[in-house]
Amino acid sequence: MFLTRSPLRDEYSYGYHTDVLIDTYTKDDATQIVVNSCQNFRSASELNATMTLMKPLLNDEWQTVTTLGATYAKVNAGPWALGLGATRPAAFLSTNHTLVLPRGFKAEVSAMYMSPMTFGGLAIRASFVSSAGVSKTVLHGTGTLTLNVTDLFNTQQSRFDVLAGGVNSSNVTKAESRFIKLGFSYKFGNKNGKASPRRDTGTEAERARMDN
């Protein structure tokens, strides 16, 4: 029997959740103040599908992992919950590349894009984030220097529009997300050590004598 390992893998999932906790927004018409709180709703359902391609290139010197996915989610809140039942499916694409370079260097780049999505009264806008890093083995392979940059283009942020509760607002949240990290790791111990020879105990010798 011959077994083949396909570089392509797909996954599908469906979820149904009851008594779900959802962010809600309400506006006081007298003061025009918008209040954000959490409420429990009857149920929510979601459907997800992903397809992942793991493909080595350049005689395994270049490893690639690329995932394409789609997601659909809906809050089953009832007709009285204005706007909470609105839904729009989203797609996302993520990719990771690791490349072995000469002189002990290794480089890695990753990125992810997600299309707009509507769920629970929020119209979530598109997002993109990427990271990069490089490493080098030193000290005859016992040490590794690493340099990583997260959120390379400083694009990671949360952007959404509120569509429920009679509220019409646009929101942007940007936390600090771009960091530069320099690290060093070292492998302790003797890599060339040999296992100690096996020594018979008195009990094992006595058992062998009785068997004979």
Q: What is the pLDDT of residues 73-124, one digit of tens each?
A: 999 877 667 778 889 999 999 999 999 999 999 999 999 999 999 998 899 9
Query: How many other β-carbons are positioned within 10 Å of the β-carbon of residue 129?
Result: 20
Q: What is the pLDDT of residues 55-76, one digit of tens each?
A: 999 999 999 999 999 999 999 8
Query: How many other β-carbons are positioned within 10 Å of the β-carbon of residue 124?
Result: 18
Q: How far is CA 121 from CA 26, 33, 124, 125, 194, in A?
A: 11, 18, 9, 13, 64
Q: What is the pLDDT of residues 180-203, one digit of tens each?
A: 999 999 988 766 655 555 555 555
Average pLDDT along the chain: 86
**pLDDT at site 2:** 42
Mean pLDDT of 140-158: 93
- Can you tell me which residue has the tokens 């111990």? 189
| β partners of residue 135 | 106, 146
Mean pLDDT of 31-54: 90
**pLDDT at site 96:** 98
State how far the Cα of 35 lies from the Cα of 39, in Å rounded to an integer. 12
